[in-house]
Structure 1
Amino acid sequence: MTTTALPPAAPTATHSGLTPAAVRRLAIAERVLYGAGGILTAVGPQTDVTGLHVAVLAAGAGTLAVLWRRTRTGGAGLLLACARALPLLGLSGTYAAALIAPGCSWWEIAAPVAVAAAAGLAAPATRAADINRAVANLPAVAEETDAGDYLSGVRALWAAAPATKGTELTALHQSDPDKPAFTAVILAAPGEAVSSRLDARTVAAAFDVPEAAVVLNPIPGSGPGRLALLVDPDRATEHAAREADPVRALWAEKVAGPGGIAPGMNLADYRLEDGRAVFRVESDDDRLISIPRLPLARALGVEDPDLLMIEAGRLSTAVVTIYREHPLIHIREATREDLTMRGDGTVALGLRHDGRPSRMKLYDPELGGLADILVGAPGSGKSVTMLTILAAERISGVVSIVADAQDGMSLPEAKGRTYHFGAGKAALAATLAGADAVARYREDISAANGWGSFTRGEPWSLVNISLDEINQVLAEDAEVTDDFRKWVVAMVARALTTYRKLGMGLRIAGQSIHLADLGDSDKIRAGARRGSVWLGRVDSEQTQRMASSMKVSTVEVTPIPPYFGGGDGAEVEAAWAGEETPTGPVTAGMAWHISGGAIGLMRVWRAVKEQRTYPGLIRLMESAPLPGLTADEDRVFRAAYDHALRYAEDMLEGTGGLDREALNAELETVAAALDAYHGDGTDAGLPVGMPRPLAKAQTLGDRIVDALGTGPMRTRDIRAAVGVGTDGGPSAASVETTISRLSADGRIVKGSTHGTWALPGTEPTPN
């Protein structure tokens, strides 16, 4: 874009045109001259050379006269003139003072030398481009350097414009002589304000430039009689280029504009890559980010809405990605590394659409156990997802307590490869009862020891309870009695609200799960939000609304189709032509993953089925030792499970089983029996066949004391004795901390041999 009225910008001589070597030579010459001037100032007043006296004093007076003229124009010129005049004024002033003073004093020699030295040190700085640039950037006092042809023409155009009458263009400055941009100050008549009619449009007309090239701003510290002006035709060219961008124009018209599908959702940036387009969206300051997915696909002409992905924040930003082909059609199988839990408690459950891992928390190091919900219709990949999670738990040393209400048909691979596997509705209820007994056991021990939170391995392992096909128990049409359903709901509710601090998590999965089935209480809703929701292809609108109510992000949850590809357009075209639409690959494993208020579309790692099982997942499960409960916890779990299983079977069959109150009372009897052991060799109060449990779980300190019962030990030997480095064992740091606490409490003492520990009153022997 060219301008017709602005005169062409002519290059002028500047310091920036000098080479670095030339600049250095000038600085050396300046220092030599200042040194000579210092010698002359020290010697000259002691001579009788009148002509020399007159010349030096005249030079000083001339410099003062130039500065006086500069004070009338002000601006950056005065600042630079003062900086450049200081050396000459200092030397001539010292010369005059020495002439007036009688005799020859020491200061008449020292003062000129000091002034010359200071001037020599400052010589390069007084001519440096940095000072020029810093001063030129002051908008209200920019230096009006020699008003050459260009700036003279600018001033003439301003004076000739009718709309600018009564104002003056001052402080003209052209930062780059090769470009037509300039800054200036519009000055009104004394006592008057710059007219409001003098806007960007009027100024652009005066210089015959595009309106986008003009910027008007008030000057900080000045009144309405001054305005800062910037005229930059290149800025208008860049603005026009952005306006001419077809992508931005389409977005402005179809999306962000007043008639668009999401007014105020502006396109901040975008990039076009091989196979996809990525858009960064920012909302107006007075709006939260909100982009409806299906209307956006329609507005941008995307025939298959499954190819459009949205990642939105909670306030003002989002990333929209459009793919040529769905990025999750092809996905690899999981590796052991994928399923190994990191320090933050997460494993890689699959991939997001942009290739990043989709991470799921097995637990939270700060919060403890979590609650997860997995929902998916038959063929959605829910069972593969559950098996992948169970493999990750075994690899990561997490105890998996599993039950499948569908008689074990959903998760056959889990049988024998997890700590516990219950098959059938009765077994699911009994599994919950057994886990609840372990939770109560941990609760009692924690209360006795004053523990307010869970630390993995001290003394217990992390436990996750997974209940698959729970809709066969909770749904209104489930073939169970009301008492049975209420019993299971009560145990689920307790797990969601109390298990967290005990290092126990709960995961429920089914084809359709409603919060109303779980009691629909605020506590249950909050408990479920602490974990994650995996929402695969579903048939229930209520399930979709449940998942939407748990998220905080503004991303719209849309149904997942059974097959990749096609979209609405392909179906319509096939219907019009009377043809069949070929189906693409199935979307099994695709899901909306909601965690921590964020939501994203992902797909679980691929699993290949052979002879009705998944050998790849089986190999992953069997690649690590099987984690289990402690011996005490195992006794508690088995006893409660066996008792509850009989009652659950009776209740389901309706053959005179105990009612809910009686069943709870019986389970309380079991719990009381566990506390009844007095350590005298008898099993008073224990049901027949129940193994005798210990009355109290050993703490890490107790285990260290027991280990030292065999004699003095070094710290490294103590760590080995209590299981540091083994699955479920304590950390080395916790052992050392406990040793320090035991020593402070007097339960252990330092041995006679350096680096050993022993029990008080024992005679240590060297190792």
Structure 2
Amino acid sequence: MTPTDEAPALPPVPAPYTPQEARRAAGIERSAYVVAGLAAAIGPQLDMPLLHTGAVVLGAGTIWTLWQRTRSTDAARLLTSCQRALPTLGLTACYTAALIGPGLSWWEVAAPVATAALAGLALPITRARGIRHQAQNLPAVIAEQAPVPAASADVDAAPYLAGLAQMWQDSAATGQTALTAIHQYSDTAPDFEAIILAPAGQAVPGSLDERAVAAVFDVPVSAVALAEVPGSGPGRLAVRVAPGLADAEGHRVMAPDELLVKLWAEKVAARGGVAPGMHLIAHRIEEDRAVILVEAEEPQMIRLPRQPIARALHVEDAELVMIESSGLSRGVVTIYREHPLIHVREATVADLTMDADGRIVLGVQHDGRPARMPLYDPELGAITDIVVGAPGSGKSVTLNHLLAAERISGVVSIVADAQNGMSLPEAKGRVYHFGAGIAALGATLAAACAVGDYREQVSAENGWGGFLINDPWPLFNVSLDELNKVLGQEADVPREFKKWVTGNIAHFQTTGRKFGGGLRFAGQSIHVSDLGDAEKIRANGKNGTVWLGRVNSTMTQSMAADMVNDGTDITPIPKHFGSVAADVEAAWTGQEAPRGPLTAGRAWMFQGGRATSMRVFKAVKENRTFPGLINLYESAPIPALTPAEDEIFRRAYAEALAAAEDLLAGDEEDGGAGGKTAPRPARGAAPALPVSLTDRILSALAEGPRRTREIRTAVGVGEPDGPASGSVDNALSKLFEAGRIIKPSHGTWALLGWTPQD
């Protein structure tokens, strides 16, 4: 219908009753008034306490109901309620007054009779019209209905429809939108459809959901449905308000999609729900899953707590609920019948070949999309990765896939396994370098630093400001496995060795990464604070990837807090699929529940502050190894450093390995076996093992007595890599207790045997 067309004649407002029904109802009500009037006149004179109590309670209840109605903003409804209550209030007032007054007076009989007579005469005025509800055969989707002419323009012809438009206009929740093209389905039912029209150039607000529309017309939320208008933009939205249909359908079994919408509206998005204000705006139900598009109402940020939502939607295992969000206004909730990551395939060479963006396919996401992980970032250069997982979580399989991908993609793999090579036996002999043991891990890192120093020196001489793969050097990634055995709180290694390793980590972050050297930390439990420069590691980890497999709850929460900023609710990964629901069922039946498949390879992958639920490709173990992974390794030649770099790496590794073994064999007081420490090598070799704080203090005192503050300055307190003042004080106290130094005076220290004559 165009704006110039005349609106067709509209049907009259439906009458609530037929004439016969109206007369019959009026006769019944008048008869009730006669009986009530006689009871109010005679009852007070009788000795009937129950009758007296009932009359007083009826009056009080009527007053309380009217008082409750005063809280409503619907003035018309309040006026109607007052009109209906007048006969009841009049008769109960007469009854109560007669009970209170002594004796029998003429007004005690006349007043209730007159009140009943007036109520009967005023019946056509005081009795509000009702509306007879009749279920109709309404279409399931509003948008599929034929367009209807605008009905709100002719107020005189359609007062009911005009009243609906006025209610919409008067509501604060509807903003600047208008209710147009209103069409009532039947003369005998209130059900109607319409178009919500936003101002020109604006979209219909997202806050106008089913709940808001239901509040405007005071109908159940289940009576409201919204849909897009075919061929129109977001400035128009179709709405159906059908309380008659909702009442008729309330006694039938709901379809799955209807039940999902109802549960979400009532248990999740409603006020008092598990995620109030997070409204379902679209959904689809497939054979094996249901997908829900959620939008937060203004001005809220998206918040989708995974476990509470699973509980609200009657999902017994929260692992079947997957949530992704933008971190701002929208999110997607996917609910599965069976966990989608139980069955995954093995990797292929194509999966592990680095693309133009430096990414490989490491596994699959819960919805079947590939889970990609970068080995290199063309814009940022070499990256820092963190791989964490408890025994049996699939950490080693993940690392083997990454190392095989590096070999296939021409990336030099420099690997060290602090668990004497037991964690990654498949990699030994199949990568450029493989160091086994704690000392080898430290030496490997030191040798990688030497290569980074060499590249920095050559780049400075040539005026190069960045790194290009294979021009002139290849990309190399350093993988340090079982790092928790070196830097973890439970690690049984000397403190100075830890300090040397963390110093080299910080050094490599500055030089190695800038010149084509990536760094990968792996362990059963890694806290960012253990990795030297925690802030730099955290920042670089967000630019790279964090693979977080099954670990304890505290570790999960710590990593999520460090690496996720999109609001995704990160929950720990169980050891078995379906174990939570099975354990509860076993506790009830008293029978042992069968274990589901292991979740090895399941992980949260954090990239750029976002979290993805994924699983690494399957690897089949035979005779304690993974032949499929070995075949992937051997599908390409082993990449290597340039000859000059290879010489630097081998020499630096040999020197650092000897020094590391000496340091591990000694104690932290004398800095190594026999008090020996490695000398600082020339540039391009491995960074030297640090001289112990004890030796530095003794060296400072060799020149004569010094005060505490002079000793602190001499050993480097206040410098970037210097010790803390408290560490110096503690070392002085230990040396004094051991008899190696003396105190000639308060605050002054000297070597044992020093005399004033010296």
**Equivalent residue for 2:628?**
616
| 2:655 match: secondary structure | helix
Letter in 1 for 2:517: M
Asked if 1:625 corresponds to 2:637, the answer is yes
Distance 1:196 1:322, change over 3 A: closer
TM-superposed deviation, 1:211 = 7.5
> What does the per-residue CA deviation read over 1:546-587, in whole Å, with 9 as the maximum and x for residues that have no partner?
2432112211111111111242x3322211221111111111
- Matched with 1:575 is 587
- 2:277 counterpart of 1:309: no
Distance (whole Å) between structure 2 residues aligned to residue 628 and residue 346 of structure 1: 20
The match for 2:340 is 327
Q: Does structure 1 residue 385 correspond to structure 2 residue 398? A: yes
SS across alignment from 2:426: helix
Distance 2:439 2:353 in 1: 33
Q: Residue 199 in 1 paired to residue 57 in 2? A: no
Which amino acid is the alignment partner of residue 640 of structure 2? Answer: G
Contact between 1:427 and 1:645, CA under 8 Å: does it hold in 2?
Answer: yes
Q: Given the alignment of the two structures, is residue 143 of structure 1 paired with residue 10 of structure 2, yes or no?
A: no
In 2, are the aligned partners of 1:278 and 1:320 still within 8 Å (CA)? yes
Corresponding residue for residue 561 of structure 2: 548
Partner of 2:681: 667
Please state how far the C-alpha of 1:196 moved relative to its aligned partner: 12
Say whether residues 1:282 and 2:140 are aligned partners: no
- Superposition map of 1:715-730 within 5 A: none
1:380 maps to a residue whose letter is: S
Looking at structure 1, the residues matched to 5 and 677 of structure 2 have their Cα atoms a distance apart, in angstroms, of 96
Q: Which amino acid in the other structure matches residue 143 of structure 1?
A: T
AA partner of residue 562 (structure 2) = S
Give the aligned residue type for 1:151: A
AA at the equivalent of 1:667 = P
Number of the residue aligned with 2:273:
260
Distance between the aligned counterparts of 1:607 and 1:335, measured in 2? 11
Letter in 2 for 1:408: G
Cα separation, partners in 2 of 1:212 and 1:463, compared to 1, 3 Å:
farther
Deviation at 1:152? 6.8
CA–CA distance in 2 between the matches of 1:219 and 1:638? Answer: 73
Alignment check: 8 A CA contact 2:449 2:511 kept: no
Corresponding residue of 2:493: 480
**How many aligned positions are there?**
499
Alignment of 1:131-210 (within 5 A): 136=2, 142-145=3-6, 150-151=8-9, 181-183=149-151, 185=153, 198-200=166-168, 210=190
Aligned mates of 1:217, 1:279 — CA distance in 2: 25
* Equivalent residue letter for 2:286: E
Pairing of 1:31-50 with structure 2 (within 5 A): none
Q: SS of 2:271's equivalent?
A: coil
Alignment match of 1:598 (pick from 607, 610, 615): 610
Deviates more, 1:655-664 or 1:262-271: 655-664
Q: Which residue pairs with 1:56 in the alignment? A: none
**What corresponds to 1:272 in structure 2?**
285
Deviation at 1:542, TM superposition (A): 3.5
In the alignment, the residues of structure 2 paired with residue 650 and residue 547 of structure 1 have an alpha-carbon distance, to the nearest angstrom, of 39
1:159-210 per-residue CA deviation (whole Å, 9 max, x = no partner) reads xxxx9xxxxxxxxxxxx9986532564799xxxxx99994349998998874
Query: d(CA) in 2 for partners of 1:220 and 1:380?
Result: 56
Alignment partners' CA distance in 1, 2:474 and 2:485? 30
Instruction: Specify which of 285, 293, 297 is matched with residue 310 of structure 2.
Output: 297
Q: CA deviation at 1:236?
A: 5.1
Shift of 1:239: 7.0
Change (3 A) 1:353 1:155: closer
Corresponding residue number in structure 1 for 2:119:
none
Q: Are 2:603 and 2:615, in contact at CA under 8 Å, matched by a contact in 1?
A: yes
Residues 512 and 543 of structure 1 are in contact (CA less than 8 Å); yes or no, is this contact kept in structure 2? Answer: no
Q: Match for residue 539 of structure 1?
A: 552
Distance 1:442 1:621 in 2: 28
* Counterparts in 2 of 1:466 and 1:201: CA distance versus 1, 3 Å: closer
Change (3 A) 1:154 1:441: farther
Query: How far apart are 1:287 and its partner, in Å?
Result: 1.1
Q: Is residue 473 of structure 2 the alignment partner of residue 460 of structure 1?
A: yes
Letter in 2 for 1:418: V
| Partners of 1:340 and 1:654 in 2: CA distance | 45
| Partner of residue 647 from structure 1, selected from 626, 634, 659 | 659
Contact 1:199–1:216, Cα closer than 8 Å, also in 2:
no
Contact 1:200 1:216 in 2 (8 A): no
**1:363·1:369 contact (CA, 8 Å) conserved in 2?**
yes
CA separation in 2, counterparts of 1:563 and 1:510? 21
Cα deviations across residues 599-653 of structure 1 (Å, max 9, x unaligned)?
1111111111111111111111011011000000001111111100000000001
Letter in 2 for 1:586: L
Give the direction of change, closer, same or farther, for the CA distance of 1:430–1:661 in structure 2 (3 Å limit). farther
User: Do the aligned partners of 1:347 and 1:362 also contact (CA within 8 Å) in 2?
Assistant: yes
Q: Secondary structure at the match of 1:182?
A: coil
Q: Is the 8 A contact 1:426 1:652 kept in 2?
A: yes
What is residue 495 of structure 1 aligned with on the other side?
Answer: 508
Greater shift in the superposed pair: 531-540 or 622-631 = 531-540
CA distance in 1 between counterparts of 2:148 and 2:583 reads: 58
Residue 523 of structure 1 is matched in structure 2 by 536
Compute the TM-score of the two structures, normalised by the length of structure 2. 0.61
1:351-370 equivalences in 2 (<5 Å): 351-370=364-383
Pair 1:429-2:465 in alignment: no
Tell me the C-alpha RMSD between the 2 structures: 3.7
Q: Distance in 1 between matches of 2:439 and 2:452?
A: 20
Q: Distance in 1 between matches of 2:401 and 2:518?
A: 17
CA contact (8 A) 1:200 1:211 kept: no
In the TM superposition, residue 495 of structure 1 has moved relative to its aligned partner by 2.4
- Provide the rounded CA distance (Å) in 1 between the counterparts of 2:428 and 2:656: 20
C-alpha distance in 2, partners of 1:283/1:220? 24
Once residues 658 and 641 of structure 2 are traced to their aligned partners in structure 1, the CA distance between those partners, rounded to angstroms, is: 23
| Distance in 1 separating the partners of 2:12 and 2:495 | 90
Q: Bigger shift: 267-276 or 491-500? A: 491-500
Maintained 8 Å contact 1:210/1:233:
no
Matched residues in 2 for 1:445 and 1:314: separation?
Answer: 44
Q: Secondary structure at the match of 2:372?
A: strand
Q: 1:297 and 1:267 mapped to 2: Cα distance?
A: 15
Q: 1:374 to 1:273 in 2, by over 3 A?
A: same
Residues of 2 paired with 1:672 and 1:353: CA distance? Answer: 44
Q: Give yes or no for contact 2:664–2:672 (8 Å, CA) kept in 1.
A: no
Contact 1:535 1:547 in 2 (8 A): no
| 1:107-165 CA distance string (max 9 Å, x none) | xxxxxxxxxxxxxxxxxxxxxxxxxx7xx2xxxxx2244x7xx42767999xxxxx9xx
Distance (Å, rounded) in 2 between the aligned partners of 1:640 and 1:513: 27
Distance 1:239 1:468, change over 3 A: farther
Tell me the residue number matched to 2:619: 607
Question: How many Å separate the matches in 2 of 1:185 and 1:459?
Answer: 77
Q: Residue 582 of structure 2 contacts residue 594 of structure 2 at CA under 8 Å; is this kept in 1?
A: no
User: Does the alignment pair 1:562 with 2:530?
Assistant: no
For residues 177 and 669 of structure 1, the distance between their equivalents in structure 2, rounded to whole angstroms, comes to: 79
> 1:473 offset after TM fit, Å?
0.2
Residues 385, 496 of structure 1: alpha-carbon distance in 2 compared, 3 angstrom cutoff: same
1:196–1:252 Cα change, 3 Å: closer
Instruction: Give me the identity figure in percent.
Output: 52
Deviation at 1:543, TM superposition (A): 5.0
Inter-partner Cα distance in structure 1 for 2:200 and 2:575 = 63
Cα 1:530–1:663 shift into 2, 3 Å: farther
Kept in 1: contact 2:652–2:686 (CA 8 A): no
**TM-score, scaled relative to structure 1:** 0.60
Are the counterparts in 2 of residues 351 and 603 from structure 1 also a CA contact under 8 Å? yes
Q: Give the match's secondary structure for 1:271.
A: strand
Gaps of 5+ in 1: 1-132, 137-141, 158-162, 164-175, 189-193, 222-231, 674-767
- Indicate if the aligned counterparts of 2:553 and 2:572 stay in contact, CA closer than 8 A: no
- Correspondence for 1:762: none
